[in-house]
Structure 1
């Protein structure tokens, strides 16, 4: 009798504790609330790898890893710098904002990982390969011209193709060693890939990504009907040479550009992204089912809010992370979450010269945050976030300006200026083409604490700036910044630690930490 009672009790407890899939905590869209555009994705066994675009930031072409399609961490980059030019070095008044390297394509073939990208800056196509995607080393093959938004494809017969273009899509066969194209193989693949979305098109079909499923070829593209939204179109063929037939595959919330990924248990998803204001272009996943050999995207043609995948554990420390700049001997100088704005000068920074600090040194004269060397950046994240730092300004020189920036064309800075023999805390607004020092106050101590807070909820896209003299009590400074995503930079806002000289080189500052949080203080909310 006792055993029966125990069995019944266990059964009742299991019924009470059971949750249906709808009740369980599930993943939600957006997949990553941060600037991770132009994704390309593969699965190797139980592990997923994703590449993305980082434009003028270095190191470049980030490689991210996941075991569940939801929780991602940075594991590598394809290059430290793309090329050594004045544009990329911020030399002679030149810069590479909004250019650098664009949409990459990641593939796995014959036990080798390939990541290809292109650059309008250099007019070159780049193909990186490695046996060990998480540790490298990478081998590089590059050739001209620059194939816009291309997809690289290894076919079953051993041929290697590249498809690229805008509206009129072309295909070319590559040499087996990937050192260039096979002469005479270039041809038009699809005359008007935008056609499934109508004839009144604002942005011609681009962002090509090619897949082969059950012997059929599927080509994904994005297009944008005038007066409409970013739209997914898919073309299908039994032979890579055609004929191709196309369909409008998804038109919801402007979520578009990406491709297909499957899970080890046989489910299918499409990875896409959405323009989401100042935070940048953010990734989404939509479920895919197959009907009559066509991938059908979304739920009743819509992008769902929840996904039958494990819940996100957050972006910290996978894509962004706080850093106290404490390094052991075998530690890398910088975690992968950091990227330099343009090519860095490694002689002018250190995390070793003063234990537990990032030192940024001035080696030349600059008059703008846009031309300053060695601005060290991380992504901002939504729906809200804050970035804070502590800075020792003891060794600044006359004319130096150092602190924390929210970097885009319309930037905001909070920092310390050394002018006329005195230091002051300032907030500079780059809301217009003429930056304005909105507020300043004297600084009579060697350490100051700085903070910027971003509110991206419902595309509010505003930021507020703060300072503290003790690291505990924060005071607002300056004006609210209306953040704006512009094509001049072509990326979401970045937190940046900066130091540049306007009068004389040789000064330096020490940053004690950078802390990023996924919340903002009540004092900055209306």
Structure 2
């Protein structure tokens, strides 16, 4: 069964991969139609690397690689777990949704790669370093205070700084070993009101600092959000890192903002930015840059273009999202990089070896909410439309267990199996309201069930549909339409999640045979 369905899935992928991009010979914005926010980017030789935010997910701070600035693949993470605390472990009723590690800063200096980030969960600043950004290992430094939305910057004299803050931008010099703020030094105010270029009626003060040095001048990029307006790029320039800085509005179109500058080996310049785009998340856009009077000028006549003079976009599979048959060879990593756990995993209660060719999730305790369930294995959804399917053996569920396929956000939805009073049922549950609702129930009289969730992100429609199948061929819609919503408490685009959840007693398990990702036409 697995081989037959794998062939079918492969054919579907080839037929529908990137259906909206197939005939373009140029890059199309958005560059990545998936949740990849808070970008930081470097180029080393002819290779680009990019870090972004995944907050409460583990492993964290994903590193992506590209040779053409358009087509990216995951190659690493800066850490396996950020820290060992209850909120990150989903213990004692605590979680860190919408928190964890935020906007990272990626740098390359004297042969070493650095990724820094910060976390409101622990109130710490973190710096990870490695000689090999794709294979590691990574060295970790953590210190207080937490420096919000900072930019790590190495100057030509090898001094290291962090620029940080909101509205009022601060600068702190770091110790030579980066172990903290330099002893005896005092952080200084670099720019008193970095929001000023965006106007005087500001809803979100300037933050998201990224500092660059080009032709001897310092350029600081920030995002500000005018009230009743849109996300806006501001740029400040100075001859010395300490200032004084003069500022101007950098870009105000489509809400595309927050990021920085990158150049190609040919000397072409682009700004890498992102856009809030509903339930799929915050999606990356590139904007061409030209230089005038020593200032970077963003966009085409001040606008974000739909196409770019860069190579055409290819499918996001398998570089960003991917199917998984859960078969592993001896030298394979336990999980492909497309997967992340919701919060820190409990490694004693998941396995790819207990039943080879399957992902086994075993419950370790009873929980009161899907959002507190350990070992939910997730990966991104993508736009404009996509589908995730899975096959699951539910033979060993215990009464009170729930297992299946979720679309994870605060207003979640899931399709799966409930075990109650010695019998099992296929159910669809919506978390769109304050209290989750079971919208439909169908008796289940077999051990294997096939589940599917489709997402429609076109023009921020943000609707999801759920299905089940008894044979993997004929699909039946179940429950209602989930109106997906990007909520700030989770601060992340919807993700597919595989889960097994006990509500009564621990010890039941389920075996996922495969997970298949497809871009589709609705």
TM over 0.5: yes
Q: 1:466-486 deviations in whole A, cap 9, x for unaligned?
A: 000000000000000000000
**What is the alpha-carbon distance in structure 1 between the residues aligned to residue 127 and residue 331 of structure 2?**
30
Partner of 2:144: 144
Correspondence list, 1:95-110, <5 A: 95-110=95-110
Q: Work out whether residues 426 and 444 of structure 2, in 8 Å CA contact, stay in contact via their aligned partners in 1.
A: yes
**What is the alpha-carbon distance in structure 1 between the residues aligned to residue 244 and residue 502 of structure 2?**
60
**What is the alpha-carbon distance in structure 2 between the residues aligned to residue 333 and residue 141 of structure 1?**
26
Instruction: Describe the SS at the equivalent of 2:365.
Output: coil
**What is the alpha-carbon distance in structure 2 between the residues aligned to residue 95 and residue 162 of structure 1?**
29
User: Is 1:55 matched with 2:55?
Assistant: yes
User: Is 1:87 matched with 2:81?
Assistant: no
Partner of 1:27: 27
Correspondence list, 1:462-477, <5 A: 462-477=463-478
**What is the alpha-carbon distance in structure 2 between the residues aligned to residue 515 and residue 136 of structure 1?**
29
User: Could you tell me how far 1:243 is from its partner in structure 2?
Assistant: 1.0
User: Could you tell me how far 1:157 is from its partner in structure 2?
Assistant: 1.4
Q: 1:48-102 deviations in whole A, cap 9, x for unaligned?
A: 0000000100000000000000000000000000011111111111111000000
**What is the alpha-carbon distance in structure 1 between the residues aligned to residue 458 and residue 441 of structure 2?**
29
Partner of 1:303: 304
Partner of 1:219: 220
Partner of 2:233: 232
Partner of 2:288: 287
**What is the alpha-carbon distance in structure 2 between the residues aligned to residue 158 and residue 481 of structure 1?**
52
**What is the alpha-carbon distance in structure 2 between the residues aligned to residue 227 and residue 88 of structure 1?**
35
Partner of 2:165: 165
Partner of 1:377: 378
User: Could you tell me how far 1:493 is from its partner in structure 2?
Assistant: 0.2
Partner of 2:337: 336
Q: 1:435-489 deviations in whole A, cap 9, x for unaligned?
A: 0011001000000000000000000000000000000000000000000000110
Instruction: Describe the SS at the equivalent of 1:497.
Output: strand
Instruction: Describe the SS at the equivalent of 2:236.
Output: strand
User: Could you tell me how far 1:330 is from its partner in structure 2?
Assistant: 1.1
**What is the alpha-carbon distance in structure 2 between the residues aligned to residue 287 and residue 431 of structure 1?**
39
**What is the alpha-carbon distance in structure 1 between the residues aligned to residue 343 and residue 199 of structure 2?**
40
User: Could you tell me how far 1:367 is from its partner in structure 2?
Assistant: 2.2
User: Could you tell me how far 1:159 is from its partner in structure 2?
Assistant: 1.1
Q: 1:18-44 deviations in whole A, cap 9, x for unaligned?
A: xxxxx9710000010000000000000
Q: Which ranges of structure 2 fall in alignment gaps of 5 or more residues?
A: 1-22
User: Is 1:177 matched with 2:177?
Assistant: yes
Q: 1:147-195 deviations in whole A, cap 9, x for unaligned?
A: 0000010000121110000000000100010001113231100000000
Q: Work out whether residues 24 and 312 of structure 2, in 8 Å CA contact, stay in contact via their aligned partners in 1.
A: no
Q: 1:341-398 deviations in whole A, cap 9, x for unaligned?
A: 0010001001111111000001111121101000000000000000000000001111
Partner of 1:454: 455
**What is the alpha-carbon distance in structure 1 between the residues aligned to residue 407 and residue 487 of structure 2?**
14
Partner of 1:8: none
Partner of 2:480: 479
Partner of 2:130: 130
In 2 relative to 1, CA 469–24 (structure 1 residues): closer, same or farther, beyond 3 Å?
Answer: closer
Q: Work out whether residues 37 and 52 of structure 2, in 8 Å CA contact, stay in contact via their aligned partners in 1.
A: yes
Correspondence list, 1:253-268, <5 A: 253-268=254-269
Instruction: Describe the SS at the equivalent of 1:347.
Output: helix
**What is the alpha-carbon distance in structure 2 between the residues aligned to residue 24 and residue 434 of structure 1?**
45
**What is the alpha-carbon distance in structure 1 between the residues aligned to residue 431 and residue 174 of structure 2?**
46
Partner of 2:7: none
In 2 relative to 1, CA 24–372 (structure 1 residues): closer, same or farther, beyond 3 Å?
Answer: closer
**What is the alpha-carbon distance in structure 1 between the residues aligned to residue 363 and residue 235 of structure 2?**
51
Instruction: Describe the SS at the equivalent of 2:348.
Output: helix
TM-score normalised over the length of structure 2: 0.95
**What is the alpha-carbon distance in structure 1 between the residues aligned to residue 256 and residue 409 of structure 2?**
23
Instruction: Describe the SS at the equivalent of 2:279.
Output: helix
Partner of 1:346: 347
**What is the alpha-carbon distance in structure 2 between the residues aligned to residue 294 and residue 396 of structure 1?**
62
Aligned residue-pair number? 499
Q: Which ranges of structure 1 fall in alignment gaps of 5 or more residues?
A: 1-22
Larger Rg: 1
Report runs of 4+ in structure 1 exceeding 6 Å deviation: none
TM-score normalised over the length of structure 1: 0.94
**What is the alpha-carbon distance in structure 2 between the residues aligned to residue 479 and residue 119 of structure 1?**
37
**What is the alpha-carbon distance in structure 2 between the residues aligned to residue 83 and residue 164 of structure 1?**
22
Q: CA RMSD in A?
A: 0.8
Q: Work out whether residues 168 and 192 of structure 2, in 8 Å CA contact, stay in contact via their aligned partners in 1.
A: yes
**What is the alpha-carbon distance in structure 1 between the residues aligned to residue 158 and residue 355 of structure 2?**
54
Instruction: Describe the SS at the equivalent of 2:418.
Output: strand
**What is the alpha-carbon distance in structure 2 between the residues aligned to residue 104 and residue 24 of structure 1?**
32
Partner of 1:111: 111
Q: 1:487-511 deviations in whole A, cap 9, x for unaligned?
A: 1100000000000111111110000
